Amino acid sequence: MGISSKVVWEKVRVDHFVLKSREEFATKRTRGMALEFPRPDWDAFFDVHDRNEIAVPMPLELVARTKREILVLTRMLETPCLPLHE
């Protein structure tokens, strides 16, 4: 569906969702859309895009590596930095 000839998930994966929940959509809706020609029927937009029938499970090793990296980065952020110049 995109411009890539194949999907490769070994290094990185970015998922983008049009909407997450009814509450998040209500907040987003108040900001409007960049292009509104014609103005959308918001309830119909939500109903069309609120689709959960496709499961795309994450590879377990990728989940584990991501959690380890988050832990490393969190610890780095918690470590006080020494000043460059005194």
Specify the pLDDT at position 38: 67
Residue-wise pLDDT tens digits, 4-28: 788 777 777 777 777 778 888 888 7
Q: How confident is the model at residue 35 (pLDDT cuts 50, 70, 90)?
A: low
CA distance 49 to 36: 17
Specify the pLDDT at position 4: 75
Specify the pLDDT at position 36: 60
Average pLDDT over residues 30-59: 75
Residues 6+ apart with CB under 8 A from 62: 9, 13
Q: How confident is the model at residue 71 (pLDDT cuts 50, 70, 90)?
A: very high
Specify the pLDDT at position 1: 52
CA distance 19 to 26: 10
